[in-house]
Amino acid sequence: MVTAPVRTDRIADLRILLATMNREPGIVDPHNALVPFGRFDTIHVARFVVAEDNTLEDRRYFPDMPQGDRVHLIFLADCDGPGDELMAWIVREAGGGLRRIFAHCDNFDDNTELLGWMRAHQTPPAAVYVNSVSY
C-alpha cells in the first residue's frame, strides 16, 4: 500500500484522471492506458482510492480536534508473491501512468525516482494472509 497526501489544488484533477481508468463508473478497464492491471497476473485486487475525511463538518462540535485533514491518495494491491517485486514490476510496465497519477501528490515531480518514492510512501500491512508456501 502506497499512501501520499494530495496537493489541495489537484484533488479534482486527480479524480478526473483516475476516472479515465474505468470502462464505466466503478468498473475498471484492465487494459487502461495509465495502469493496465490486467497485465499483472499475480494481482488479485488493486485500486487507487482518494481518501477524504467526510466527518470534518462534525468536528465543529469538538473544538479540540484538528479542524482539517489532508486528502490522501492510496494505491493498494493484493497479490501472490512479494509485494515489493510487484511494485517494481508495475513501475517497469506502467511507470508513465504512475507518474501522471502521483504528480498530483506532495513532493513528486518530473525528477522524482518513482520506485524509491513509492517505497518511501509505503504503509506496511498490519496482517498478511498466506494460503500456501511453495518451495
pLDDT tens per residue, range 74-112 = 999 988 888 889 999 999 999 999 999 999 999 999 999
Q: What band does 26 get if pLDDT is binned at 50, 70 and 90? A: confident
Please give the share of the chain, as a percent, with pLDDT higher than 90: 67
Q: What band does 4 get if pLDDT is binned at 50, 70 and 90? A: very high
Long-range contacts of 7-13 (CB under 8 A, 24+ apart): 7/104, 7/105, 7/106, 8/70, 8/71, 10/104, 11/50, 11/52, 11/71, 11/104, 13/104
pLDDT at 116 over 70: yes
pLDDT at 67 over 70: no
| pLDDT of 61 | 78
- Cα 75 from Cα 94, distance rounded (Å): 14
* Segment (H or E) for 86: helix 83-102
pLDDT tens-place string over residues 54-65: 776 777 777 777
Please compute the mean of the pLDDT values over residues 9-14 and round it to a whole number: 96
- Cα 14 from Cα 93, distance rounded (Å): 21
What residue has cell string 508495475? Answer: 90
Whether 6 and 73 have beta carbons less than 8 Å apart is answered as yes
